[in-house]
């Protein structure tokens, strides 16, 4: 009885055996995530947006007026670490903190016009990146992969 579950895993360099690692979900996930993040970062280099910052702009664009706690919770980032990200995006004039009318402790986050323009450009680059990996996955590969990944998160 042969164990062929990792038949398609790339071989390690120099004939080093990876043993059971390529058959482990976590190991495969991590290697795939590193490859795709590396491509994402280089693809969006011209707009200088790393994955977390891109996601932040998407969320704010989809839900204008949310406060920092709400956006950071949606992203799975702690609000304490989110402050630096908002500072950075605001310094680049991509988003703005507007004083909330309802609650004077919080800010309503909105994209600036410059932010919307940059996000449009970023979306185009991201689409190229996405298509590149969808092609790697073959016909229906992406449609099979996504539900499996979300089952892991549930």
Partner DNA sequence: TATTGTTATACTCTATAACTATA
Partner DNA sequence: TATAGTTATAGAGTATAACAATA
- Closer of 70 and 130 to DNA (Cβ): 70
Task: Report CA 127 to chain centroid distance, whole Å.
Answer: 13
Asked if 31 is part of the footprint of DNA (rule: CB under 7 A), the reply reads no
CA distances to 47, 62, 71, 81, 150 from 59, rounded to whole Å, are 17, 5, 7, 17, 19
Site track for a copy of itself across 94-133, x = CB under 8 A: --------------------------------x--xx--x
Give the pair of three-digit tokens for residue 29: 């996930």
* CA separation for the pair 48, 51 (Å, rounded): 10
Work out which of 44, 47, 57, 86 binds DNA, going by CB under 7 A.
86
Does 79 contact a copy of itself by CB under 8 A? no
Task: Provide the β-strand partners of residue 99.
Answer: 107
The site for DNA (CB under 7 A) is made up of 34, 50-52, 67-70, 77-81, 83-84, 86-87, 97, 103-107
């Amino acid at each position: 009885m042969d164990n062929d579950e990792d038949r398609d895993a790339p071989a390690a360099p120099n004939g080093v055996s990876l043993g059971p690692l390529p058959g482990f979900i976590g190991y495969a996930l991590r290697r795939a995530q590193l490859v795709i993040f590396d491509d994402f970062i280089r693809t969006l280099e011209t707009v200088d947006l790393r994955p977390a910052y891109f996601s932040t702009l998407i969320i704010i664009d989809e839900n204008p007026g949310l406060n920092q706690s709400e956006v950071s919770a949606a992203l799975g980032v702690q609000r304490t670490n989110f402050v630096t990200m908002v500072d950075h995006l605001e310094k680049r004039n991509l988003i703005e903190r507007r004083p909330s009318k309802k609650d004077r402790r919080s800010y309503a986050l909105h994209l600036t016009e410059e932010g919307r323009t940059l996000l449009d450009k970023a979306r185009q680059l991201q689409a190229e990146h996405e298509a590149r990996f969808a092609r790697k996955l073959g016909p229906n590969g992406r449609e099979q992969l996504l539900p499996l990944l979300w089952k892991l998160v549930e």
